[in-house]
Amino acid sequence: MDIAEVGRYWKHLRVPFQLLLSPLFLWGAFLSAAEPDARLWSGFVAFHGFLYTGITAYNSSYDRDEGPVGGMLRPPPVPTGLRTLAWVMMGIGTVLAACVALPFLGIYLTIMAMGVAYSHPRVRWKAHPVASALTVLIGQGALGFLGGWVAAAGTLHTAWSDRGLWGMLSAAGTTLGMYPLTQIYQIEEDMRRGDRTLTVVLGPAGALRLGQACLVCAAVCAVIVVARTMTAVDTMLIGGAYLLILWQVERFTRDYQRGKHTGATAFRAVMRLNATVAAGFVLFIALHVLRRL
Q: Is the pLDDT of residue 38 over 70?
A: yes
Q: What is the pLDDT of residue 141?
A: 96
* Dist. CA 174–CA 177, nearest whole Å: 5
> Hey, how many other C-beta atoms are within 10 angstroms of the C-beta on 137?
19
Residue 170's pLDDT band (boundaries 50, 70, 90)? Answer: very high
pLDDT tier for residue 1 given thresholds of 50, 70 and 90: low
Global pTM reads 0.93
- pLDDT, residue 293, reads 62
The pLDDT value recorded for residue 261 is: 72
Tell me what the pLDDT averaged over the chain comes to. 91
Spatial distance between the Cα atoms of 176 and 132, rounded to a whole number of angstroms: 10
Please give the pLDDT value at position 23. Answer: 95
- For residue 12, pLDDT over 90 is answered with no
Q: Please provide the DSSP assignment of 99-156 as one string.
A: TT-HHHHHHHHHHHHHHHHHH-TTT-GGGSHHHHHHIIIIIIIIHHHHHHHHHHHS-S
Which range among 174-183, 220-229, 256-265 shows the weakest confidence by mean pLDDT?
256-265
Beta partners for residue 69, in sequence order? 72
Q: What is the pLDDT of residues 147-158, one digit of tens each?
A: 999 999 999 999
For 90-100, what is each residue's pLDDT tens digit? 999 999 999 99
In the predicted model, what is the mean pLDDT of residues 61-69?
83
The tally of domains found in the chain comes to: 1
Query: pLDDT tens digit string along 267-285?
Result: 898 999 999 999 999 999 9
Residue 68 is predicted with a pLDDT of 78
Residue 124 is part of which domain span?
A: 3-292
Can you give the CATH number for the domain in which 109 is found? 1.10.600
Query: Which among 243, 246, 234, 247 has a CA at the least distance from the CA of 285?
Result: 234
Least confident of 7-16, 73-82, 201-210, 257-266: 257-266
Q: Give the residue-averaged pLDDT of 15-42.
A: 92
Does position 5 have pLDDT exceeding 70, yes or no?
A: no
pLDDT at 155: 92
Among 114-123, 185-194, 239-248, whose mean pLDDT is lowest? 185-194
User: Percentage of residues in the chain with pLDDT exceeding 70?
Assistant: 97
* Length of the chain as a residue count: 293
Question: Is 60 exceeded by the pLDDT of residue 183?
Answer: yes
How far apart, in whole angstroms, are the C-alpha atoms of residue 5 and residue 231? 51
- Angle 264-292/22-31 helices, nearest 10 degrees? 20
Residue pair 235/251 in contact by the 8 Å Cβ criterion: no
Q: Which of 3-17, 18-32, 46-60, 232-246 has the lowest mean pLDDT?
A: 3-17
The proportion of the chain whose per-residue pLDDT surpasses 90, expressed as a percent, equals: 69
72 phi, psi to nearest 5 deg = -140, 120
